[in-house]
A and B are shown apart, each in its own frame.
Chain A
Amino acid sequence: MSPHDADLDALEAEAMWVIREAAGAFRTPVILYSIGKDSTVLLHLAAKAFAPARIPMPVLHIDTTWKFREMIRFRDETARRLDLDLRVHTNPDGLGNAITPFTHGTDEYTRIMKTVALRQALDTGEFDVALGGARRDEERSRAKERMFSLRGAGHTWEPSAQRPEFWTTVNSALVGGQTMRAFPLSNWTELDVWRYIQREKLDVVPLYFTQALPTVLRQGKPVAIDDDRFIFEPDEQPVVRRVRFRTLGCYPLSAGEESEATSVDDIIAELEVATTSERAGRLIDGVGASSMERKKTEGYF
């Protein structure tokens, strides 16, 4: 037994408790699935929480249409393998108005294609609790969030007036259009996630491992050219670089990093000495010191 196993066991048991609570205390739970490593762990934990029965709730993916192609392939394979009730939603208004990360500002694009899309899907599905793979160590406003986090009518978050949370007793009362977000991975770190992926031998999207990809540098970081919709700046030329991604999102907004990690073991070794956080690789967080908090108050995950 590795020294990390006790921590992973504790985190696993806690996450399963959250997932079961979402199923037991609410009417219409849903799992939010973003295809990344955290979502992979979340789905695995959900399968464990309900085993030997199947996951008794739908899985929702907000598709901005700008995810890496490998991600979509992985999503559909996963849904088949786990026999998921997968629901995919794209904001039709965003599509109609041709909102893209190239033509609109990052904030505007994210608001329309992610935040608004998520609100639409939650409203349409009448989901009263949404499980997500967010972690407290990701970002400092996340560090402030409850495991069961109340949302007001319109999916708003009031960070300075959160509902208190004690022990393993969840106040699941919802009134006047309130809904709940639940975060089973709240107390996991990026390293915990990878150690768990290693221990449980989970498959992840291959983009987490180093491969040679055509890239350009933006804000000094390599951004992959995943398809022919990529719009180059006047002086940009694609350069093949050996990169991997610490976080995956919309490909034009996900910066990779040069790395030689080709296995989960390599990634863990790399992270054990890493000095930067994973969000350093997300171009979307660079705008303003509180951009995450502001997006969350509007309903973003």
Chain B
Amino acid sequence: MPDENVSTPAVSELGLARIVVCGAVDDGKSTLIGRLLAETGSIHTDEARAAELPDGTLDYSRLTDGLESEREQGITIDVAYRYVRLPEGRRALLADSPGHEQYTRNMAVAASLADVALLVVDAVRGIRRQTLRHAAVCRLMGVQSYVVAINKIDAVDDPDTRIAEVRSELERRLSDLPHVAYVAVSGLRGDNVTGPDSLLSSLVAGTALRTNTDKSRAPLRIPVQTVLRDNERRWYAGRIASGSICAGDTVSIWPSGATAVVRDLVLAGESSTATAQSGASVALELDRETDIGRGDIFVTSSGDEELPVSRAHLADVVWLDDEPLNPAASYVLRVGPLEVPARVDQVRFALDLDAGEEIPTQSLRANDIGRVEITTDRPLLLDSYAFSRHTGGFILCDRLSGRTLAAGMAVHPLQRESDVTRHAFTVTRKARESLNGVRAGVLWLTGLPGSGKSTIADEVEKSLFERGIRSYVLDGDTVRQTLSEDLGFSPEDRRENVRRVARTAQLMMDAGLIVIVSLVSPFRADRAAARELFAHADFAEVFVDTPLEVCQERDPKGLYARAATTADSQMTGAGQAYEPPLSPEVNLDGTAPVTRNTELLVAWIMERRAR
């Protein structure tokens, strides 16, 4: 039930109240809806006449089953849209959807814009797989509140007991739905359809919830539909998917990243100084020339919002087509006016509706619901569906036939190495670096065991800490006990160890840190591979050049001494060779005082302050 303490916002989203009517086939949806329409005065007399049976009685299901084949087969095939009159001059758009599994795609269409779901369950037969499927589709489609109508109570002998049984089963199976109200009705006889504590009053309560969702303070999204040209002037036309906009606002444009001020806001066809809200169709003229076309998106200009841009996204999908999902196929992904080639890389799981479990699978078939990873040919701004249906919902289409194969609801972007996009990446790292005052980077200290790497690393970090610069030392010994505890010291294992350390350093650098790696890393090829992960300016190979004799003499951990008594030692400088760098960024004399070497490295770091 709605929380009475929630206040109505000053501005609410533009839109009609929408109710999806669903449930398994033969649970009596169309009859119940026909009854509801008739009792609320939502139908005309001539329409009622057209729904009469030859004997003159009204067949309520014929009010919404508007297709010839539907009346022939006595089933609902596609969605019927009808207004129902609510009290106080209000109304809601009902989408009466089919119950058959083969028409799940049409049911999903009906649910896609709904605020409220009316889920009809037959009191005689109780909960069925289609009941669960429809509940799952509604939840995925973002339906906010639910009215579960236990129907056909005229057909059971002991209604009270049966209603309690069915209700307790429903409560158990539908426990993940928000805002559920239960009501026992008879569509055939008209019990409890209207009046106090009825189906109608539950629907009214459900639709009241939607007025409490205010999307206008959310980040701005206006997908551009078309460009309007009048002489030399240009306006970019689209509908506000979220946020609000006013003349004089500064906006950014995705994907170009350009920023501009709105010079003229055209709202409902006229220049306006009002603030246009989510749902409004607007056109924007900007204060400067920028290259903007259909599918680009106006977004909030402030830099604190990290856009969900990636070439890979995690998403839930409802598979609609008889042709199953083909992971090898290239599909066309559409989100609003944007089109981009896409593949489904991986199906993480499909939903087993009976067991309510996630089961691993390779593909999805018609009417399956599953979670997938999707890769697009270029970076895509895809909001989470929970944030916006319009910029977080997408469809997958077949290239040749043009058919709509699946409806998808984005969960979040995935960051893979290949899709760390320039735009999102730089902004993020920059923001973190600004906290640190210096550009993040990696100092890679290499040298023989006992050359003094760890001592220098420790001193450098102390010095940075005093300056308020965040850093971290990735030390070989620590890494060996943690990240690489499964590795030995063979050349292969050393290569893998270097790779892991390099990747970790990369993540830390992305976090905005100065990373000091202290690792023997004896092989040139391995160090070169590590260097390749970084931009030239962000990586410094530091050779701690200490003669082997000195290291052997220092031998702080007794490694050289032990190696001398071990046959086939894999220790660098004993059984294995060390390959010194040929052209390191910094060359430190390992026999010089530690303070001097520390100063050299700190200077290198502080030079990054201005950049």
Contacts and interface: CB of A to CB of B under 8 A. Distances in A.
Contacts of A160: 67, 69-70, 77-78
Interface in B384-426: 389-390, 393-395, 397, 400-404, 407
Interface stretch (B44-52, B196-204, B357-365): B44-52
B69 A159 contact: yes
B349 interface: no
Contacts of B83: 137, 189
A140 B47 contact: yes
Contacts, number: 184
Given A13-B14, A144-B79, A276-B45, A25 B108 contact: no
A294 B67 CA distance: 10
Contacts of A211: none
Chain B interface SS verdict (over half): mixed
Interface string A154-183: 000001101111111111011100100000
A174 to B, nearest CB: 7
A86 interface: no
A164 B402 contact: no
A153 B112 CA distance: 29
A187 B225 contact: no
A277 interface: yes
Interface stretch (B264-272, B507-515, B519-527): B264-272
B78 A162 contact: yes
Q: How large is the interface on B (under 10, 10 to 19, 20 to 34, 35 or more residues)?
A: 35 or more
A186 interface: yes
B105 interface: yes
A73 to B, nearest CB: 26
A163 B16 CA distance: 23
Given A163-B404, A171-B395, A173-B332, A13 B113 contact: no
Contacts of B25: none
B99 interface: no
B80 A144 contact: yes
Q: Of residues A20, A48, A52, A164, which shows the largest number of chain B Cβ atoms within 10 Å of its Cβ? A: A164
B81 interface: yes
Contact of B67 (A11, A12, A137, A141): A141
Contact of B225 (A17, A164, A276): A17
Contact of B403 (A139, A163, A165, A169): A163
A130 to B, nearest CB: 17
A98 to B, nearest CB: 32
Interface stretch (A2-10, A112-120, A217-225): A2-10
A283 interface: no
Contact of B81 (A174, A178, A186, A290): A186
Given A52-B266, A168-B241, A16 B67 contact: no
A167 B239 contact: no
B112 to A, nearest CB: 5
A7 B393 contact: no
A289 interface: yes
B46 A24 contact: no
B472 interface: no
B81 A187 contact: yes
A11 B83 CA distance: 13
A274 interface: yes
15 contacts: A7-B91, A10-B16, A23-B225, A23-B226, A25-B225, A52-B235, A54-B230, A142-B66, A143-B66, A162-B106, A166-B112, A168-B239, A169-B390, A274-B44, A277-B46
Interface of A: 3, 6-7, 9-13, 16-17, 20-21, 23-25, 47-54, 136-137, 139-144, 159-160, 162-171, 173-175, 178, 186-187, 189, 274-277, 279-280, 289-290, 293-294
Given A143-B66, A169-B394, A275-B45, 12 more contacts: A24-B225, A24-B237, A24-B337, A47-B269, A49-B237, A141-B66, A141-B67, A144-B66, A144-B81, A175-B401, A289-B50, A293-B68
